[in-house]
């Protein structure tokens, strides 16, 4: 595998740089690349895919990759890029399968049509993780692309679960996303603790949206904020999972029967006022459903065996000594500016007297 990854990295790196691409980030076996022209990005994607198809791999190994292409403005800092354009490209890539090159409507509009010898397959509109509006997705069928039947795109509509559609973008907390995801890899029960309003729920939903494709039976949300009585906790869980009552079977047993063979992520939100009842369910479910993962949010930990507790800190604040550009890129300021812009289309953030003035 080490040799295969070296071949993979070399083939893609060559394809990207051959067309003027600037590789500004690598993570694991992934590349993030900036181009000055959409046509160059499309050509590099096609060349990279063909290079992998033609590669002679070590025995027993064959690597395929998925690619997402989007165009737009991005903020640059210290040789790295940030902003919604990158997020959308990443979300496009995430819904694809190995061998696919997925393009946004903005890319297709800029191209004005498929490159010579290529075709564009219209996949229609799809809801992508943490993006407020659906994206019209096209697949680039480059010359030499294999004619293969692939499953549907892994967009939110095509994955099992009941995660709500987020109408606002997810800002910051990259470190917490990584930390929580890794915690769920190693622990079957993870609790995000923090004071009210710190963003535990939004963080949990983002983690679930990022991981939903890794669970055969999807990701499901149980909201306990409106539940008043401990006895109603299991009813709320059954309703969220769509477990119907059966004659002679208690609600608890019905839920446990449903979960026991499932590969599923269950997000249990706002547990603090029903700790005892929630803890009993979580402990019993973890014991009876070996492929179940539970992500809870609460002001206090559940206190069950095997629980991993993480604390969600507030959004990063700017330092008074920071430059204007640096301050505007901190999590709290980005959050404020985006929400203010959503509520007032004439809002603008500009510098005055050395400070950022918000109108």
Q: Check if the beta carbon of residue 68 is closer than 8 Å to that of residue 89.
A: yes
Please state the domain extents for the chain.
2-150, 174-311, 324-358
Between CA 68 and CA 64 the distance in angstroms is 14
Rounded to an integer, what distance in angstroms lies between the CA atom of residue 239 and that of residue 244?
Answer: 8
180 or 354, higher pLDDT: 180
From residue 37, alpha-carbon distances to 43, 44, 71, 111 in Å are 10, 11, 9, 10
Is the pTM value of this prediction over 0.85? no
In contact, 289 and 189? CB cutoff 8 Å: no
User: Alpha-carbon distance 256 to 287, whole Å?
Assistant: 10
- State pLDDT tens for residues 126-160: 878 666 678 899 999 999 888 877 888 877 666 77
Q: Where residue 320 falls among pLDDT bands split at 50, 70, 90?
A: low
**Confidence check: pLDDT of 4 > 80:** yes
Beta bridge partners of 193: 298, 311
Going by their DSSP bridges, the two strands 135-141 and 119-126 should be labelled as: antiparallel
Q: How far apart are the first and last CA of the chain?
A: 55
pLDDT of residue 196: 73
> Fold match between 2-150 and 174-311?
no
Q: What is the pLDDT of residues 172-219, one digit of tens each?
A: 677 888 899 999 999 999 999 987 767 889 889 989 988 887 898 989
The answer to whether residues 250 and 238 touch, using CB atoms and an 8 Å cutoff, is no
Residue 19 predicted with pLDDT over 90: yes
Confidence category of residue 80, pLDDT binned at 50, 70, 90: confident
Percent of the chain with pLDDT over 70: 84
SS3 state of residue 234: helix
Helix H segments across 243-307?
A: 251-259, 275-288
SS (H, E, C) 69-100: ECCCCCEEECCEEECHHHHHHHHHHHCCCCCC
Q: What is the sign, positive or negative, of the torsion defined by CA atoms of 40, 45, 46, 47?
A: positive
The two three-digit tokens of residue 185, written as one number? 């890899």
Q: What is the CATH number of domain 174-311?
A: 3.40.50.300
Q: What is the CATH number of domain 2-150?
A: 3.30.70.1230
Confidence of residue 22 (pLDDT cuts 50, 70, 90): very high
Question: SS3 for 122?
Answer: strand
> How many percent of the chain have pLDDT more than 90?
54
């Amino acid at each position: 595998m080490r040799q295969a990854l070296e071949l993979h990295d070399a083939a893609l790196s060559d394809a990207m740089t051959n067309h003027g691409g600037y590789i500004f980030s690598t993570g694991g076996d992934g590349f993030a690349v900036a181009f000055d022209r959409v046509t160059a990005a499309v050509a590099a994607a096609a060349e990279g895919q063909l290079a992998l198809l033609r590669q002679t791999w070590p025995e027993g190994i064959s690597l395929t990759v998925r690619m997402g292409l989007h165009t737009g403005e991005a903020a640059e800092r210290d040789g790295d890029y940030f902003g919604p354009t990158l997020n959308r490209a990443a979300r496009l890539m995430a819904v694809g399968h190995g061998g696919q090159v997925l393009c946004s409507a903005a890319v297709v509009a800029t191209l004005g049509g498929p490159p010579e010898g290529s075709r564009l397959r219209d996949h229609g509109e799809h809801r992508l993780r943490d993006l407020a509006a659906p994206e019209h997705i096209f697949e680039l069928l480059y010359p030499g692309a294999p004619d293969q039947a692939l499953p549907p795109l892994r967009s939110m509509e095509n994955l099992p679960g009941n995660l709500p559609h987020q109408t606002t973008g997810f800002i910051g907390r990259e470190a917490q996303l990584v930390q929580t995801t890794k915690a769920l890899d190693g622990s079957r029960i993870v609790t995000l603790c923090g004071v009210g309003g710190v963003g535990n729920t939004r963080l949990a939903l983002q983690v679930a949206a990022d991981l939903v494709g890794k669970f055969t039976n999807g990701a499901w949300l149980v909201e306990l904020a409106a539940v008043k009585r401990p006895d109603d906790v299991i009813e709320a869980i059954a309703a969220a999972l769509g477990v119907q009552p059966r004659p002679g079977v208690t609600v608890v047993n019905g839920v446990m029967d449903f979960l026991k063979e499932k590969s599923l992520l269950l997000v249990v939100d706002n547990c603090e006022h029903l700790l005892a009842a929630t803890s009993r369910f979580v402990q019993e479910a973890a014991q009876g459903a070996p492929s179940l993962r539970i992500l809870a949010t609460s002001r206090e930990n559940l206190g069950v065996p095997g629980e991993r507790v993480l604390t969600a800190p507030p959004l990063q604040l700017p330092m008074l000594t920071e430059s204007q550009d640096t301050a505007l890129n901190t999590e709290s300021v980005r959050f404020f500016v985006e929400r203010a812009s959503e509520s007032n289309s004439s809002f603008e953030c500009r510098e005055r007297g050395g400070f950022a003035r918000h109108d």
